[in-house]
Amino acid sequence: MDRAVKSGKISGDQGSKIRNSLLAGNVRYEYDRKIKAVTDYAVTYLQLFVALKRIEPKYDGALRFLIEHKEVANAEKDQFDPTQLTNILLEDFDQLKLLSGIMDRQDGEVRMMVAGLMPYGQVTRKGQDQRIERLTVEQGFIDLVRQLPREEMANRLNAVDKTIRVRAAADMLCMIALINRLVKPTPFPKEIRLLKINMIIEEFYKSSDDLASARGKAQKFLKSRLRVIYPDITPDEYQEIEEKSNAIIERVEQRITTERQQAKAASAAAGAEKELNIQESLELSPREIARGAQVGRVSMKIGNNWRMVPLKVMPDADDPERHVLVQRDPQSRELVAVFRKGIKC
């Protein structure tokens, strides 16, 4: 302080005031308060980053899906439109199962997050764990969680640039908010639950050729098993599912019936095409007949049985007294001998 006064950087009165404030402890207290705030911020979010790493990697795809559709997941009831999301998940049951796993809190770290245990309780204030108005997190954040070392995240949280510090913390908060939107009672998990029920009912139909039997199992499931699988389901939601149950069953039944009809038609078409190809493959031109080609039935072992199979044969060009199997060359369309292990058949 004396050197600063002598050099003219500060006046004598300013030097006296600074000395007095230091003696009083005011400046020391302010510095300590600011340093503690910055340190606590970095330590808290670093703990949060490490905690997010503990979520099972098998859910990474589901977390990316959440981020990709964050606007739908974050929408309020009067703005919630699940149409696009529903169409995607009806075609991707694996993704639906993973989202259901998070929703049902099958991951231990998700259970800690929802319960507000440390370190999550340090950063989620009341109401904040339900919804953040503007979600800034991007899908690359999941790769960041998996690949970025703890020390590198510590550097970001302690960066001189405030933008870097805030972005790192904001991504974590947004990710937690999205997971809570899937777990807490919001419009989003209700839709996932309906899709999962749809998936279970579809499994009943896929595992049985008897539509009446599958329908009976589906109805029994909706009446007796629903509350067992979802003990936290609200009375209103249960009533809504009951009201929609017949429509859900009819929709699934119609879909399965259509798929089976299409599969049957495709199989019939494939069989007809195969038969046509066989007939075409057995046709012989007058020139080929003149060369001695003919269609004969040859005994061949198929599986564990011997069967007579129609095949084309003609005299061997090297030994006219001997007949060999022939097939049409796809390039020249001429009949050529069939070789197996380098020997004519």
Q: Is the pLDDT of residue 258 over 70?
A: yes
Q: For the chain, what is the mean pLDDT?
A: 79
pLDDT at 129: 46
pLDDT at 264: 77
Between the alpha carbon of residue 316 and those of residues 289, 295, 329, 337, 345, the distances in Å are 14, 15, 16, 8, 10
285-312 residue pLDDT tens: 777 777 777 777 767 666 677 777 677 8
Instruction: Read off the pLDDT of each residue in 132-155 and give the average, rounded to a whole number.
Output: 91
Q: Is the pLDDT of residue 241 over 60?
A: yes
Residue 318 to residue 308: CA distance in whole angstroms: 27
Q: Is the pLDDT of residue 197 over 80?
A: yes
Between the alpha carbon of residue 252 and those of residues 145, 161, 212, 237, 266, the distances in Å are 39, 55, 13, 20, 21
**CA angle (230, 232, 237) in 5-degree steps:** 80
Residue 103 to residue 116: CA distance in whole angstroms: 16
Domain coordinates in residue numbering, the chain: 6-184, 209-282, 286-344
Say if residues 336 and 344 touch (Cβ distance below 8 Å).
no
pLDDT at 60: 95
Better-scored residue on pLDDT, 222 or 25: 222
Distance of CA 86 to the CA centre of its chain: 13
Q: Is the pLDDT of residue 227 over 80?
A: no
- 26-30, 46-50, 92-96, 312-316: lowest mean pLDDT where? 26-30
Say if residues 314 and 290 touch (Cβ distance below 8 Å).
no
Instruction: Read off the pLDDT of each residue in 226-230 and give the average, rounded to a whole number.
Output: 74
Q: Which residues contact 144 (CB under 8 A, 6 or more apart)?
A: 171
